[in-house]
Amino acid sequence: MKVVADVPYAFCFEPVLEGAWMPLPLSVLLNLASKWYYAVSGNKLIIRTESAIYCIGNRRHPMISNTRRAFLSKLAKFAGAPLLCGGGAFGFGSLLERHRVEVERHEIKLALGERAPAKLRALTMGDFHFDPLYEADYVAQCVSIANSLKPDVIFLTGDYVTSKSDRIGEFAGLLSKLCPRSGIFACLGNHDHWSNAGKIMGALESAGVRMLVNQQTRVNCAGGELVVAGLQSVWAGKPDWSLASRGLRRDERAVVLVHEPDFARTLSEDRRIALQLSGHTHGGQVRVPFYGALRLPTWGRLFQSGIYDLDALKLHVNRGIGTITFHVRLFCPPEIACFDISNIGAADA
């Protein structure tokens, strides 16, 4: 008699199929989902779960009493439908939707000032969370999609890693293939601050990304001069707009990169900011119909995804590229945001 917990995950399929009570499609679905999750996370809980399924399913298992087997069988029958729905959703979310990148296109009008370009195309990408999955092919695919949109500028909104920066060089190498006409500009996310921010900034700068940490810069693009500022993470750093806005002329309005969207409440008080670009929320990552996001992070609860107007400030929150904790997305695919911006001229500051 095999004991499931002692065999490698690759062989756990067979014992579950022995279970007489479980429909075959559900077995297949649960096993594919659990194998994938075990493979990427090494989570021993999956093996324990499979072991339990085996004990319930295998009526001859010597380690389980008849009374307990009867109880577990009833429980399994009762839980069959929810498991089928849950397993299907988990399989779709983890295997399909997590990599189904959507390009969200927005045509927006902003008063950027007389010196800014009349029109430009800008992209935002963020929340790659390169570790722990290190999905280089997926990041390369996102880079390729971004390049195909032929942007003037690309803005990165932080959280390049989750907790480890040891392979940031590999990630930066992938980003170095981005080729906008006028540059890549980035801020840091809370996870970057917590994972050796200096090393992450150094690697990204070497790959041609201009890091903006409570700083601003002027970008020559599309026949004009665009003011771009970036702030430290609100949660993990000290965002300082008064420092970043030094030298901003009265008739200019800036594009500001700040990882956490809820800081818009503060930034909207300064009319010199035309557009705030943020990420951080992953759009909720898992969204339940008629309910919404299951979980939202600190500083990411007021504005979850998409475009918001706060007085003179326009805010955009992207859903990000990667995932965190449970590597599943449901009704919340990853996003590259593409903005076609028309400059309506002078700011009314």
Distance of alpha carbon 167 from alpha carbon 174, whole angstroms = 11
The residues, any chain, with a CB within 8 Å of residue 232's CB and separated by 6 or more, are: 187, 188, 193, 213, 214, 238, 239, 240
Residue 185 C-beta: closest distance to Fe ion, Å? 18
Residue 280 C-beta: closest distance to Fe ion, Å? 4
Assigned token pair, 201: 């900034």
Residue 157 C-beta: closest distance to Fe ion, Å? 9
Residue 162 C-beta: closest distance to Fe ion, Å? 9
Instruction: Kindly tell me which of 280 and 319 has the beta carbon lying closer to Fe ion.
Output: 280
Instruction: Kindly tell me which of 9 and 263 has the beta carbon lying closer to Fe ion.
Output: 263
Residue 190 C-beta: closest distance to Fe ion, Å? 5
**88-96, long-range: CB within 8 Å, 24+ apart, which pairs?**
88/29, 89/330, 90/33, 90/328, 91/29, 91/32, 91/33, 92/330, 93/286, 93/328, 93/329, 93/330, 94/33, 94/36, 94/37, 94/327, 94/328, 95/32, 95/33, 95/36
Instruction: Kindly tell me which of 50 and 192 has the beta carbon lying closer to Fe ion.
Output: 192
Assigned token pair, 37: 């999750």
Instruction: Kindly tell me which of 189 and 239 has the beta carbon lying closer to Fe ion.
Output: 189
Q: Nearest to Fe ion by Cβ — which residue?
A: 280
Interface with Fe ion (CB under 5 A): 159, 189-190, 280
Q: Could you tell me how far CA 96 lies from the centroid of its own chain?
A: 15
Residue 299 C-beta: closest distance to Fe ion, Å? 8
- Rounded to the nearest 5 percent, the helix, strand and coil shares of the chain are 35, 20, 40
Instruction: Kindly tell me which of 280 and 316 has the beta carbon lying closer to Fe ion.
Output: 280
CB 93 within 8 A of CB 326: no
Instruction: Kindly tell me which of 9 and 155 has the beta carbon lying closer to Fe ion.
Output: 155
